[in-house]
Chains A and B, each alone.
Chain A
Amino acid sequence: GDSVTQMEGPVTLSEEAFLTINCTYTATGYPSLFWYVQYPGEGLQLLLKATKADDKGSNKGFEATYRKETTSFHLEKGSVQVSDSAVYFCALSSLTGNQFYFGTGTSLTVIP
């Protein structure tokens, strides 16, 4: 069945460091891919998405590219800020749109 595997945390970075959080997926066909962010005490918010191969999703300085050949959707940011401290979830929506699958989440802490 469809699934998402993402890099385990926690991740601790200094401010202005480069961030990569790895995400790979298993799916039938061409799912849509998403990154969600969960700030402390809040629900999940959509950070970015990509709906087809080679699409790049971007938002708030974060980027992820849908790589069909490696079945990956890694999240990157060139310079993290303290305000980026949160839990990040990779997710996919199945080909039919009937199911949504989440990774286990990666906790990021950015220290000044």
Chain B
Amino acid sequence: DADVTQTPRNRITKTGKRIMLECSQTKGHDRMYWYRQDPGLGLRLIYYSFDVKDINKGEISDGYSVSRQAQAKFSLSLESAIPNQTALYFCATSDLLRGEQFFGPGTRLTVL
């Protein structure tokens, strides 16, 4: 079973709709992250959380919100989707000792 899972894997929605992307992990890591990937721009950090009570904005948090429901779950919401939020979204986890991040398979979101 995958250590970091994301649902849905693909989503097409319309402008103005509320969308939630979900991430679950079985790695037991405290730290979780949401990134978006756009061609030529690499990965940009949206939000991150170091534990259930800790939420931090990343580089591009405008238009997004998150919820850390449990150590293993971290959800990303688009309150009112717009076309320039069309992108590939990745969830990641890490622990401080090892340093590296572990990624989910991604969610491809298209906003029409």
Contact = CB atoms under 8 A, between A and B. Distances in A.
A34 interface: yes
A43 B42 CA distance: 13
Interface size band for A? 20 to 34
Interface string A5-44: 0000000000000000000000000001010100000111
A44 to B, nearest CB: 4
**Taking each of A42, A43, A46, A103, which has the highest tally of chain B beta carbons within 10 Å of its own beta carbon?**
A43
Contacts of A44: 43, 90, 92, 101, 103
Contacts of B94: 100
Interface of A: 32, 34, 36, 42-46, 49, 51, 89, 91, 93, 97-98, 100, 102-105
Interface of B: 4, 33, 40-43, 45, 50, 90, 92, 94, 96, 99-106
